[in-house]
Chain A
């Protein structure tokens, strides 16, 4: 496997992190129509949770659980206390933007403007898998594996489980779902929590690669918005495919056109929107 193969693996790693973010984003949008602009901030907060947790434990697994739990519960609280009381798109978008600004400033207040790096789990510090002459960090392989496991789980959850059926019913017709006895309010809070927990997972496992620093929230939010637009709003498969496309395209563009890499991604998005205005897998 040549250096292009490695570049594609790099792209898939980034794609998996974006998928964790975009999956929650798209689930929330699909069910509730909420454009959650605080999703990137939840991701960033998970990074800070990882920083804090790493001070008390060396166990990366516990750190991941802590990040998912804290951010998941925070997501549920945000939905139950704030977002549930709004209904229009614009006020919701503004409210989530406000939440994003509040928490990113709170993070600066608590942790300062200085960036943190989180240690990789023991055994993955610098162990390398060789592909031909070129090494590839094993931690990134771990990230890819986690991403695939989450994708399979989400697919099962969404398509095969009872809760998934309820969510799909809620997406298709909320009133009818209520009429047949589904508590859509509780369902929404749960989905919001799940989406937030996924962002939390992404934030924790992304932290050893990207670091944790103010401003990172908006960077990842921008990319995951592109992912969701490319893949189609509300579609999990779309989020997965879109994340892979954006991750790989971003890596290849950085090598071929370093100054135009962001332009390249947005150009790709525009092109896909021209061909398929609903995104690759979007229904509406």
Chain B
């Protein structure tokens, strides 16, 4: 007994000694602390983990060192809930004293923490939440976004469906929540602007289990259905779309989440041929190949778009830190460096920020195809260097483009101004 106890005491002392020494070593050059907020429990846990992993991957590639300083990551679980997200953000800022924040999956959380982050002057790199306003009307000099905004995707997609796919009559079938109105609305807007017609708009309440009422009411004169359903609902929608004999009759277009690797192993047969856009690296690009191999090798899963955008955000941040030699404490200089980061070559095309601090990048048009027994997403077209303002300057955009939320349900009557 005695020897055992002595052994435990000994071990404890040795371990604590180790900790003490380590702490002293680290104190000499305090690490740069980055707080990462992402849902790790709840329905979006899987996506939340992808976001975290993309970020971690980039910083591990550079050995968690920038400009001679260590980078320390503190991950917090937002549970995808706005109130929890805000509490965790305050904890990161006030208790952990992080130098900057990153992450954020849901738009609700992003809006909840926006004012706090703005008032505390903490730089924030949003790596997913796509609500337009975060980098438009509600922009802040401290908030950046490396992922996408809903209408940045939608504007490209609607226009492409008309011009390149020759579609003329569209039905909108979206989830009933603001982010979806933005994506659906911007698809409708650019489709109408190109010359198309929106025949019908259907919005399904969140949590719909049976889409039969909407699929029955769907106008079958359409030649393209644009649908937007995040999360589990897309599995049911696609299955029922097939069940109601719409598959193969009317072309579908969606966001990438509706056809990506999280859904196509299960329902691929019901969605082959669907057109989608979102975040997708070019598989022929060596930069993307090394990212993909790194991600898959380290985590044994596909990066799935979320890992991509988080990795991009991490690239922006690490380059800015490099530029200021790790001196993140001089906030203005760091923000200036971050705004000016240009990444001429990446797996997603050249990356930079617009004056509203939202990413400008290539937008891939993707299509789901079947190869043997598995499914693959092919990039069939690439729309280079699109900003969130599309063809407009910010001023023109705010003057000409209608507010998405106000236009919900009115697209079939919309006449573009000449």
Chain A residues proximal to chain B, CB less than 8 Å: 3, 6-7, 10, 13-14, 113-117, 120, 126, 128, 133-137, 139-140, 208-211, 213-216, 219, 251-252, 254-255, 258-259, 261-262
Instruction: Check A126/B235 contact, CB under 8 A, given A3-B217, A216-B209.
Output: no
For the complex of A and B, 9 pairs with smallest distance between CB atoms: A10-B212, A115-B232, A254-B213, A135-B245, A137-B243, A251-B213, A6-B216, A210-B209, A128-B245
8 Å CB contacts to A: which residues of B245-304?
Answer: 245, 247, 262, 266-267
B242: A residues at CB distance < 8 A: 126
Q: Are B235 and A115 in contact (CB under 8 A)?
A: yes
With a cutoff of 8 Å between Cβ atoms, the chain A residues found around residue B267 in the complex are 117
- B240 close to chain A: CB less than 8 A: yes
Chain A: minimal CB distance from B73 (Å)? 24
The reply to whether B216 and A3 contact each other, CB–CB distance below 8 Å, is yes
Chain B contacts of A215 at CB under 8 A?
43
Jot down 14 A-B pairs with beta carbons below 8 A, ordered by A.
Answer: A113-B43, A114-B46, A117-B235, A117-B266, A133-B220, A209-B239, A209-B240, A211-B209, A211-B235, A211-B236, A251-B213, A254-B205, A254-B214, A258-B176
Q: Tell me which residues across on chain B come within 8 A of A3, comparing CB atoms.
A: 216-217
Q: Which residue of B lies closest to A17 (CB)?
A: B210
Chain A residues, Cβ within 8 Å of B245: 126, 128, 135, 137
Contact of A135 with B244 in the complex, beta carbons under 8 Å? yes
- Extra contacts, 19 of them, besides A208-B239, A209-B240 (Cβ < 8 A), are A3-B217, A7-B216, A10-B213, A13-B210, A113-B46, A115-B235, A117-B267, A134-B216, A209-B239, A210-B209, A211-B236, A215-B43, A216-B209, A219-B207, A219-B209, A251-B210, A254-B208, A258-B203, A262-B205
Chain B: CB-nearest residue to A120: B243
B45 interface residue, CB < 8 Å from A? yes
Distance, CA A134 to CA B212, complexed state (A):
12
Q: Which residues of B contact A126 (CB under 8 A)?
A: 242-243, 245, 247
Whether A213 lies near B207 (C-beta < 8 A) is no
B204 an interface residue at 8 Å Cβ cutoff? yes
Q: Is the interface of A mostly helix, strand, loop or mixed?
A: helix
Point out residues on B near A: beta carbons under 8 Å.
42-43, 45-46, 176, 202-205, 207-210, 212-214, 216-217, 220, 232, 235-236, 239-240, 242-245, 247, 262, 266-267
Number of A-B contacts (CB under 8 A): 88
How distant is the Cα of A14 from the Cα of B203 in the complex, in angstroms? 20
Q: Which of B209, B217, B235 has the most CB of A within 10 A?
A: B209
CA distance A3 to B212 in the complex (A): 11
How close is B16's CB to chain A, nearest CB, in angstroms? 36
How far, in whole Å, are A255 and B213 apart by their CA atoms in the complex?
A: 6
The answer to whether A116 and B266 have CB atoms under 8 Å apart is yes
Q: Which of A113, A117, A140 contacts B45 (CB 8 A)?
A: A113
Contacts of A135 in B (CB 8 A): 244-245
Q: How far is the CB of B43 from chain A (nearest CB, A)?
A: 6
CB distance from B410 to the nearest CB of A (A): 16
Residue contact A7 to B46, C-beta cutoff 8 Å: no
Distance in Å from the Cβ of B24 to the closest Cβ of chain A? Answer: 42
B46: chain A residues at CB < 8 Å are: 113-114
Q: Which residues of B contact A211 (CB under 8 A)?
A: 209, 232, 235-236, 239
Q: Which residues of A contact B207 (CB under 8 A)?
A: 219
Q: How far is the CB of A29 from chain B (nearest CB, A)?
A: 24
Q: How far is the CB of A116 from chain B (nearest CB, A)?
A: 7
Query: How many angstroms from the CA of A123 to the CA of B42 in the assembled complex?
Result: 37
* CA of A116 to CA of B239, assembled, Å: 11
A residues near B210, Cβ cutoff 8 Å? 10, 13-14, 209-210, 251
B294: min CB distance to chain A, Å: 24
Nearest Cβ distance between residue A18 and chain B, in whole angstroms? 11
Are A251 and B204 closer than 8 Å at their CB atoms?
no
Q: Known contacts A7-B213, A210-B210, A258-B205; is A137 also within 8 Å of B266 by CB? A: no
A6: B residues at CB distance < 8 A: 216
Name A220's closest neighbour in chain B (CB-CB).
B209
The reply to whether B216 and A139 form a contact with Cβ atoms under 8 Å apart is no
Hey, which chain B residues are within 8 Å of A137, CB to CB? Answer: 243-245
Alpha-carbon separation in the docked complex, A214 to B216 (Å): 27
Task: Give complex CA distance A139, B212 in Å.
Answer: 13
Give A261 to B205 CA distance when docked, in angstroms.
Answer: 9
Residues of B close to A139: CB separation below 8 A: 243
Chain A residues within an 8 Å CB radius of B217: 3, 7, 255
**B236–A210 contact, CB under 8 A?**
yes
CA separation between A130 and B242, bound complex, in Å? 15
The answer to whether A117 touches B239 (Cβ under 8 A) is yes
How far is the CB of B97 from the nearest CB of chain A, in Å? 33
Task: Say how far A50's CB is from chain B's closest CB, in angstroms.
Answer: 14
On chain A, the residues within 8 Å of B232 by CB distance are: 115, 211, 213
Docked complex Cα distance between A135 and B246 (Å): 9
Give Cα A252 to B217, complex, Å.
Answer: 11
Chain A residues near B42 (CB-CB < 8 A): 113
In the assembled complex, how far is the CB of residue B245 from the closest CB belonging to chain A, in whole angstroms? Answer: 4
Query: A128 vs B242: C-alpha distance in the bound complex, in angstroms?
Result: 10
- Cβ–Cβ < 8 Å partners of B212 in chain A: 7, 10, 13-14, 140, 251
Shortest Cβ gap from A31 to chain B (Å): 30
Return A223 CB to nearest CB of chain B, in Å: 9
